[in-house]
């Protein structure tokens, strides 16, 4: 069990800059009413961020090309999306997703 002081400082620095953006909106929004237009803008955040995180999972960024697509992940997304639409269940989708990904990796 060793603890390097410079690593501890990096962890503490990382903790502070992670804590602040998480907490500040919760502290501030209690006291001010948000304008209607901001509320409307915020209502689009969940869909946009979920979509962006999904796209992020099948993008490969490397030095050799501008952008490449992880076709195996994209292939696993198809059955997973169908199951999500069909079952509307978080747990079933996650299980089917993991099985699909494992199958795709096994086959290709």
76 touches 55 (CB < 8 A): no
Is the four-CA dihedral 88, 92, 98, 103 of positive or negative sign? Answer: negative
71 sits near another protein (criterion: CB under 8 A): no
Q: What are the DSSP calls for 11-68, one per residue?
A: HHHHHHHHHHHHHHHHHHTTTSPPPHHHHHHHHTHHHHHHHHHHHHHTEE--SSSS-E
**Residue among 63, 64, 66, 107 that touches another protein (CB under 8 A):** 66
In the region spanning residues 75 to 94, those forming contacts with another protein, defined by CB under 8 A, are: 76-77, 80-81, 84-85, 88-91, 93-94
**Residue among 21, 71, 107, 108 that touches another protein (CB under 8 A):** 21
Residue 26 tokens, joined: 């919760």
In the complex, least distance from residue 89 CB atom to another protein, rounded to whole angstroms? 7
**Residue among 48, 63, 64, 108 that touches another protein (CB under 8 A):** 48
19 sits near another protein (criterion: CB under 8 A): yes
107 sits near another protein (criterion: CB under 8 A): no
């Amino acid at each position: 069990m060793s603890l390097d002081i410079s690593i501890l400082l990096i962890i503490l620095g990382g903790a502070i800059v992670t804590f602040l953006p998480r907490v500040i909106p919760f502290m501030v929004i209690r006291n001010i009413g948000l304008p209607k237009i901001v509320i409307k803008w915020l209502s689009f955040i969940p869909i946009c961020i979920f979509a962006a995180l999904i796209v992020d999972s099948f993008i490969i960024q490397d030095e050799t090309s501008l952008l490449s697509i992880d076709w195996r992940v994209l292939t696993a997304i198809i059955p997973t999306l169908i199951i999500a639409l069909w079952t509307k269940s978080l747990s079933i989708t996650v299980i089917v997703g993991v099985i699909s990904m494992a199958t795709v990796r096994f086959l290709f």
